[in-house]
Structure 1
Amino acid sequence: MNILIVDDEPLSRSELSYLLKQNITVAKVTEAEGIKDALSILLTQKIDLIFLDISLNEENGFTLAKELKQLVNPPLVIFATAYDKYAIQAFDINAIDYVLKPFEQTRINQALKKANTALLNREQLHKEDNTAPKNTADFITLTADEKTAVIKTKDIVSATVESGLLTITTNANRNFVSHETLSWIKKQLDPQKFIQVHRSAIVCLEYIREIQPWFNHTFVLILTNNERVPVGRSFIKDLKQRLNM
């Protein structure tokens, strides 16, 4: 298990790191003192579990926890804090445990056992998803203004959402607008050919012509129809893997 500790107190990070390393399920422990450092690590390393403090100088651990939802395979979260008043809020965002300071070896081991079980369950579900037949289609239909358009999925260049409207662009530079959601179109498309690159955008891999650097160490994709699609920070790692960058 690869673990990231996010805590602004060096002594607290050191104590927790020591306790974690006593457990045989832990392969590597990395430390970050704030959200920016944590996001940088998450984009470059495979992290299975985060021990996350809530009070991070002027930052809040819940901010990072919500950012994690944008990741393709987000790590599990265990809150590790001196305050018990946030426990209900923590479990509302699907944290798997809530550990109070000062840390104890027995309690840390209990938390790691929960995490290991959750990771094994996730791995099993992933295997089942990969072996199950994909429910993707050669065509999709979109109805607007009492007209139904039939679109070949192989012709779709991108699908983007803005102001609650889904726009599908094809290689013939035709745009189809609908009130459907991005998650709806994602389920219709072959995951081997399409990739989500932003919380509001999906693109077809074969229609990516160029990748250019953009703001804050992110990228923008130039598609074959000259459309420009930004890549969200949390999607960079998956994009690089898919394109062998």
Structure 2
Amino acid sequence: MNVLLVDDEPLARDELAYLLKQNITVETVFKAEGIKEALSFLFKHQIDLVFLDISLNEENGFTLAKELDQLVNPPLIIFATAYDKYAVQAFNIDAIDYILKPFDQERINQALKKASAALSARLTKKKPDTVKETSDTQFITLTSDERTVVIKTQDIIAGTVENGELTIYIKNGSQYVSHETLVWLKSRLNSEFFLQVHRSSIVNVDSIREIQPWFNHTYILIMNNNKRIPVGRSYLKELKARLNM
């Protein structure tokens, strides 16, 4: 998940960002201190989940929540605040959770579990309209460098996310950079051929050239284009099963 934190208190933002990064479902954490900054960011980037404070200096988090609902692909909302008196109002606007400061890891993990379930339900309910299938070919379309490109999924070597940007590596040596998320890419790829090996990486299993031991009993995958991709510990079991290791 790509997550945006909206809170006017720097210490609260940093604390919550740290806790979120301990959870493997979180790919990238972005921060904003007010409504204007948050909206400006959201108009340019696809975010899966917003952690939203209610008291934002002179502003109100509910104002931003209503604005988010107008987006084409609105993110999920979790209110993260010091006040318990707004809980009913929060759930009336379809927030998926309401957590109170000070935060703790267990409560954050519970909230993220709800968010993951909600995102999965959203994907199964709505078939992506950017996927086009024929009997033997599948394509994805995405915006990269202000142009729309069409990619055969069978030509994809890997997809990685770094600093909030998704890079898709193609067999002919091309690379496409987009603001889409790894969740977006994974939902459009056939799990028979593609495998997530890290919270920020998904690979075409047929494009793995070599597997090298790495620290903490994990591995580095060397892809056919020489791209080196680390394997996260929580993904080891599935990788070994897929490759009969």
- Name the structure 2 match of 1:60: 60
- Name the structure 2 match of 1:49: 49
Give me the whole-angstrom Cα distance separating, in 2, the residues matched to 1:115 and 1:43: 21
Q: Please give the residue correspondences for 1:1-245 in structure 2 after superposition, counting only pairs within 5 Å.
A: 1-127=1-127
Give me the whole-angstrom Cα distance separating, in 2, the residues matched to 1:129 and 1:15: 37
TM-score (normalised: structure 1): 0.52
Give the letter for the 1:42 counterpart. L
SS in 1 for 2:83: coil
4+ residue stretches of structure 1 with deviation over 3 A?
128-131
Give me the whole-angstrom Cα distance separating, in 2, the residues matched to 1:38 and 1:67: 10
SS in 2 for 1:26: coil
Q: Give 1:66 deviation, angstroms.
A: 0.4
Number of aligned residues:
132
SS in 1 for 2:72: coil
Q: Give 1:43 deviation, angstroms.
A: 0.8
Q: Give 1:127 deviation, angstroms.
A: 1.2
Q: Give 1:31 deviation, angstroms.
A: 0.1
Give me the whole-angstrom Cα distance separating, in 2, the residues matched to 1:4 and 1:100: 17
Q: Give 1:46 deviation, angstroms.
A: 1.2
Per-residue CA deviations over 1:145-185 (Å, capped at 9, x if unaligned) read: xxxxxxxxxxxxxxxxxxxxxxxxxxxxxxxxxxxxxxxxx
Structure 1 residues 128 and 11 mapped into 2: Cα distance closer, same or farther (>3 Å)?
A: closer
Give me the whole-angstrom Cα distance separating, in 2, the residues matched to 1:13 and 1:28: 14
Give me the whole-angstrom Cα distance separating, in 2, the residues matched to 1:78 and 1:70: 17
Give the letter for the 1:45 counterpart. H
Give the letter for the 1:59 counterpart. E
Structure 1 residues 129 and 46 mapped into 2: Cα distance closer, same or farther (>3 Å)?
A: closer
Give me the whole-angstrom Cα distance separating, in 1, the residues matched to 2:98 and 2:110: 11
Give the letter for the 1:52 counterpart. L
TM-score (normalised: structure 2): 0.52
Greater fraction helix: 1
Give me the whole-angstrom Cα distance separating, in 1, the residues matched to 2:46 and 2:68: 13
Give the letter for the 1:68 counterpart. L
Q: Give 1:128 deviation, angstroms.
A: 7.9
Give me the whole-angstrom Cα distance separating, in 2, the residues matched to 1:16 and 1:44: 23
User: Identity over the aligned pairs, expressed in percent?
Assistant: 73
Structure having the higher Rg: 1
Give the letter for the 1:116 counterpart. S
Give the letter for the 1:66 counterpart. K
Per-residue CA deviations over 1:122-161 (Å, capped at 9, x if unaligned) read: 0111118889xxxxxxxxxxxxxxxxxxxxxxxxxxxxxx
Per-residue CA deviations over 1:96-141 (Å, capped at 9, x if unaligned) read: 000000000000000000000000000111118889xxxxxxxxxx
Give the letter for the 1:67 counterpart. E
Q: Give 1:51 deviation, angstroms.
A: 0.2
SS in 2 for 1:80: strand
Structure 1 residues 11 and 71 mapped into 2: Cα distance closer, same or farther (>3 Å)?
A: same
Return 5+ residue gaps in structure 2 as ranges: 132-178, 180-245
Per-residue CA deviations over 1:82-109 (Å, capped at 9, x if unaligned) read: 0000000000000000000000000000
Give me the whole-angstrom Cα distance separating, in 2, the residues matched to 1:48 and 1:66: 16
SS in 2 for 1:73: coil
Return 5+ residue gaps in structure 1 as ranges: 132-236, 238-245
